[in-house]
Structure 1
Amino acid sequence: MSRSMKIAIVDDEQDMRQSISQWLALSGFDTETYASAQDALKVIGPEFPGIVVSDIKMPGMDGMAFLKKLMSLDSTLPVIMITGHGDVPMAVEAMQLGAYDFLEKPFNPDRMTELAKRASQTRRLQLDNRALRRELSDGTVLMKKLIGSSPVMERLREDILDLGQADGHVLIDGETGTGKTLVAHALHAVGPRAGKKFVQLSCAAHDEDTLAAKLFGPISDGTTLPLIEEARGGTLCLEDIEALPQTLQARLLTVINEQGSPAETRIIAVSNLQEQDKTCEDVLRPDLFYRLAAMRITLPPLRQRGEDILTLFTRLSDQFAEEYGCDAPEVSAQEAAQLLQAPWPGNVRQLINVAERAVLQNRRGSGTIASLLMADNEETQPVMTTEGKPLKEYVEAFERMLIDNTMRRHKGSIVNVMDELCLPRRTLNEKMAKYGLSRSDYL
C-alpha cells in the first residue's frame, strides 16, 4: 500500500522556505516548513514519512549539525541540502555525511521537483521494506494475514501454532499461489526462534555451483557467511526444494544429521512442484524427504475455501480502492456465485490480480467480474469447478459478504445497517452471530 510522503522544509529565511513550499505544493507534495533545525527536530524522527530539504547556513544549529543529527536518528532518511554560491565543498562534505543530494542557489525549480520525487520514492520504498520486515517478525500480524474462517484455514492456523512451537524441520507444499512463503515466515515468527534470523534461498534460482557456494561455502568474496552458517540459531527457508541437485541434497542431509536434535538451524523446505504426476517425495532423496517431512503442512487451494473467497475478494478490493483513490466494486449475487465457482488455478495470487483489475474496471465504469474470470481461462466461457455446492452455501456466503461490506461501509453503525438491509435488529444480531461478525471489528 502506497503512503503519502511529506517534505519538511527547513530554512531561517521566511521568503525562501515559503517559495520552496509553494513550488513543491503546486507539484503535488505535502509540505511542512520550519524556521530552525531545532523546531524541525521536534517533529522529525526515525519513522518520519517523508524527506527533508534544508539550508546549510542557518543560525543556531546549522545545516551540517542538523544533517548529522538526522543521520543519527535514521541514516536512511533522504536529506536534500541547499547551498549558497561558493559552498560546494561544504555540500560535498554533506554528501559524505549521508545527504541524499544538494542544490546550489539559485537553483532550477524543476530540478528541485525532480530531486524531491526521486527522494520521496526512495523513502517510500525504505519505509515499506521496514514495515514488511516488522510484519515478517511479528507472529500475531502474520497470523492475521491468513484470512478466512473456513475449516481448512482454521486447521492451518492451528497447525502453524503447533508446528511453530515444535521447532523441528518442516516441509510446506501446495499449489502455486496459496501462500507457502507466508506460512514459512509465520512458522518462524510464532516459535522459539522468533527474533532470530530468517534466511531465504530459492533452489531454482541458481546453478549447482552457485547453490553449493551460497549454502555451504566458501563464499568467493570472503565477506559473507554461507547461509547454513548465517541462519545458525534461526531458520533457513529453502524454496523450490525440488530443484536442489542430488549432490547438494546429500550435503544438506549430512548437515542435518550432524546438527542433531534440537537442530542448530531449523530447515523449512517449500515445494512448488507443479507436475501432476510427481510429488516432492518422488524427486527428493528418501532419507532427506523423511527428515524434512516429519512435520508437513499442505496448504489448501483457494477453491476449497468456500466463503473465504468472498471475504478475501472484499478485503483486497477495498485495499486497492484505497490505493487508487476510488470506490470498490459492488458484488452482485450472480458475481458472488461466479467467484465461489471459479477454479482459481492461480489461487490467492490470482485472486489478488482479479481484485485489482476489478477496482480499475470500476474506476473506469466498465467491465464485469465475470469478464475478468473469463479472461483468466482459455475457454470462451468462465470455467466452473466440478465440486458442486448446495444452493444454501452460496446464499449464506453472499449474505455474510453483504452484511460484512455494509458494516464496514457504515463503520459499525447498527442503525444504518438495519436501514440499508431492511432488517430488524434481532434478525441482524442473529445473522452476525451466525457468521462470526462482531460490531467491535468495524468501529
Structure 2
Amino acid sequence: MAQAMKIAIVDDEQDMRQSISQWLALSGYDTETFSSAEEALKVLGPDYPGIVISDIKMPGMDGMQFLKKLMGSDSALPVIMITGHGDVPMAVEAMRVGAFDFLEKPFNPDRMSELAKRATGARRLTLDNRVLRRELSDGGQIMKKLIGQSPVMERLREDILDLGQADGHVLIDGETGTGKTLVAHALHAVGSRAGKKFVLISCAALEEEVLSKRLFGPMLPEDSMLPAIEEARGGTLVLEDIDALSETLQAKLLSVINEQGTPAETRIVAISNLQEAGKTCEDALRPDLFYRLAALRITVPPLRQRGEDILTLFTRLSEQFSEEYGCDAPQVSAQEAAQLLQAPWPGNVRQLINIAERAVLQSRRGSGTIASLLMSDHEEMQPVMTTEGKPLKEYVEAFERMLIDNTMRRHKGSIASVMDELCLPRRTLNEKMAKYGLQRSDYLA
C-alpha cells in the first residue's frame, strides 16, 4: 500500500507557514508546520514519510545549516528551499548541497504544488524501495512476493532466475502498475551481485541538470554522495523511466556502458514506463543505447493475463487491509469473483491494491459492492463484461480454489474446520486441494 505523504513546512514567519499549509492542504496534502529548524529536527528522522519545504533565511539555525543537517541524516529526503528575491546564488548553493529544488519569493502557488507533487512522488519511491531492501535478506523472500501460479507468472519467475545469474544489462518493460520495480529488485536479489549496492534512480523525477550530476557527476568534495554510476559499482543501478532520458544523457550513458566493457562493473537495469499509445522504449531511445540495454529483456505480464492469480492477490491484499483497519475481510461471492476475473484492469496490480483497500473500507461500513468499485474506476464497463471470453468451468474452478484457500487461511489449516464449514468430506477436500495446488502446511499458524 502506498504510504501517505506529509509535507513539513519550516518558516519563522507564522503567516507564511499558514498560507503554504493552507494551499497545500487544499491540494490534498497532509501538512505540519514548524517555526524553527531546531523544532523540525526533533521530528524529521531518516525515514520521514514526506518532504520538507523550508525558508533559507531564519534566525538561529538558518536554512542552509538545516539543509546540511537533513542531508547528513537522509540524503534522499526532498527539501524545497524558499529564497528571497536576489538570493539565487544561495539557492544554487542549496542545490549543490542536495536541495530538491527552490522557490523564489514571491512564488506562484501552482509552481509550489507542482514541485510538491514531484518531490512526494520521488520520496514515496525512495521509501517503498527502502522497505523492499529491508525485506530482501535473500532472493527467496522477494520471489515469494511474485505471487501467482498462472503460466505467465511461472515464466516470469523462471526468467528472473535465469537473467539474475547473467551479467549483462537488462531492460524491463510492461504496462504501468505491473510491478516492474519489484522485478528489478528480484533480479538483483537472486544474482551474484545480491550482497552489493542496489541504487535506484527515477529519470523522470529530476530535472536534467540535477539528474546528470546525480548519475555521472562531477561531485564536489563537499558532497556526501558519489555519482550513481560510482555508487553502484560492483552492484546494480536501476534506471526507472529510462525513456525520459534526454538525448544528451542517453549519449553519456552509452559512453559509460562502452567504457565498462564486459562483464560490466555496474549492471544497469532499465525500466520503461511508456504509456503513450503506439510508442515503445525502442522509439524513445537512440538505437545503439536501446540494443545495449535490451540485450536481456523481461516483459512483466499485465494483470488481465494472470487468470485466477487475480483472486489470490485480491484475497491476500484484502486480508492485509482488514488487519490494518481492524475489521473482517470482505467475503467474495461467486458473482464478484467472476467480475474480478473479467475486469480489464488497465491499472494492473496497482489498481487491484486500490480496489482491495476500498472493498475492505466499504465492507467495514456495511455497504457497497465490488462491482460498484470496478464500475467507478471504469464508467464505460458493463457489470459483468469480460475482456476475454472464458468457459464457465474456468470461472467455477477459480472461485472454488479461492473459497478453499480463504477458508483454510481463516481456520489456519484446520482440516476439520474447513470440512465442516464447506460441508465437504475429507476425501473430496483432499482431492480438490491437490487439484488446485493447495498444501495444508502453507496455512499452519
TM-score by length of 2: 0.70
**Structure 1 residue 130, shift from structure 2 partner:** 6.9
3-state DSSP of counterpart to 2:154: helix
CA 1:385–1:167 in structure 2 vs 1: closer, same or farther (change >3 Å)?
Answer: farther
**Structure 1 residue 442, shift from structure 2 partner:** 0.7
Partner deviation per Cα, 1:388-411 (whole Å, 9 max, x = no partner): 111111010000000001111111
Q: Is the 8 A contact 2:171 2:294 kept in 1?
A: yes
Partner AA of 2:238 in structure 1? C
What is the match of residue 268 of structure 1? 269
Partner deviation per Cα, 1:139-196 (whole Å, 9 max, x = no partner): 1111000000000000000000000011210000000000000000110011000011
Q: Is the 8 A contact 2:343 2:387 kept in 1?
A: no
**Structure 1 residue 134, shift from structure 2 partner:** 2.1
The 5 A counterparts of 1:180-199 are: 180-199=180-199
What is the match of residue 134 of structure 1? 134
3-state DSSP of counterpart to 1:407: helix
3-state DSSP of counterpart to 1:423: coil
CA 1:292–1:385 in structure 2 vs 1: closer, same or farther (change >3 Å)?
Answer: farther
Q: Is the 8 A contact 1:374 1:382 kept in 2?
A: yes
The 5 A counterparts of 1:290-369 are: 290-369=291-370
Partner deviation per Cα, 1:284-312 (whole Å, 9 max, x = no partner): 11111111111000000000000000000
**Is it true that 1:442 corresponds to 2:437 in the alignment?**
no
The 5 A counterparts of 1:244-283 are: 244-283=245-284
CA 1:137–1:188 in structure 2 vs 1: closer, same or farther (change >3 Å)?
Answer: farther
Q: Is the 8 A contact 2:339 2:384 kept in 1?
A: no
Q: Is the 8 A contact 1:238 1:270 kept in 2?
A: yes
What is the match of residue 231 of structure 1? 232
**Structure 1 residue 383, shift from structure 2 partner:** 7.2
What is the match of residue 164 of structure 2? 164
Q: Is the 8 A contact 1:408 1:442 kept in 2?
A: yes
The 5 A counterparts of 1:27-46 are: none
**Structure 1 residue 205, shift from structure 2 partner:** 1.1
Partner AA of 2:216 in structure 1? F
CA 1:137–1:236 in structure 2 vs 1: closer, same or farther (change >3 Å)?
Answer: farther
**Structure 1 residue 128, shift from structure 2 partner:** 9.6
Partner AA of 1:323 in structure 2? E
Measured in 1, the distance between the counterparts of 2:293 and 2:132 equals 28
3-state DSSP of counterpart to 1:437: coil
**Structure 1 residue 230, shift from structure 2 partner:** 0.6
**Structure 1 residue 254, shift from structure 2 partner:** 1.0
Partner deviation per Cα, 1:13-62 (whole Å, 9 max, x = no partner): xxxxxxxxxxxxxxxxxxxxxxxxxxxxxxxxxxxxxxxxxxxxxxxxxx
Measured in 1, the distance between the counterparts of 2:186 and 2:129 equals 17
Q: Is the 8 A contact 1:193 1:234 kept in 2?
A: yes
What is the match of residue 146 of structure 2? 146
CA 1:259–1:128 in structure 2 vs 1: closer, same or farther (change >3 Å)?
Answer: closer
Partner AA of 2:191 in structure 1? G
The 5 A counterparts of 1:99-118 are: none
What is the match of residue 202 of structure 2? 202
Q: Is the 8 A contact 1:412 1:442 kept in 2?
A: yes
CA 1:137–1:384 in structure 2 vs 1: closer, same or farther (change >3 Å)?
Answer: farther
Partner deviation per Cα, 1:319-351 (whole Å, 9 max, x = no partner): 100111100000000000000000000000000
Measured in 1, the distance between the counterparts of 2:252 and 2:386 equals 43
3-state DSSP of counterpart to 1:205: coil
Partner deviation per Cα, 1:201-248 (whole Å, 9 max, x = no partner): 111112221111111111355332111111101100000000011111
**Is it true that 1:284 corresponds to 2:285 in the alignment?**
yes
Measured in 2, the distance between the counterparts of 1:289 and 1:382 equals 42
Q: Is the 8 A contact 1:374 1:383 kept in 2?
A: no
3-state DSSP of counterpart to 1:172: strand
Structure 1 gap segments, 5+ residues each: 3-74, 78-126
Structure 2 gap segments, 5+ residues each: 3-44, 48-126
Measured in 2, the distance between the counterparts of 1:153 and 1:267 equals 23
Measured in 2, the distance between the counterparts of 1:380 and 1:343 equals 9
Partner AA of 2:213 in structure 1? A
Q: What is the RMSD computed on CA atoms of the aligned residues?
A: 2.4
What is the match of residue 106 of structure 1? none
Count how many residue pairs are aligned between Structure 1 and Structure 2.
325
**Structure 1 residue 277, shift from structure 2 partner:** 0.7
Partner deviation per Cα, 1:406-441 (whole Å, 9 max, x = no partner): 111111111111111111111111110010000011
Partner AA of 2:345 in structure 1? W
Measured in 2, the distance between the counterparts of 1:234 and 1:131 equals 19
TM-score by length of 1: 0.70
**Structure 1 residue 133, shift from structure 2 partner:** 2.7
Partner AA of 1:195 in structure 2? G
What is the match of residue 218 of structure 1? 218
Q: Is the 8 A contact 1:164 1:187 kept in 2?
A: yes
Partner deviation per Cα, 1:66-124 (whole Å, 9 max, x = no partner): xxxxxxxxx999xxxxxxxxxxxxxxxxxxxxxxxxxxxxxxxxxxxxxxxxxxxxxxx
**Is it true that 1:428 corresponds to 2:426 in the alignment?**
no
Q: Is the 8 A contact 1:193 1:235 kept in 2?
A: yes
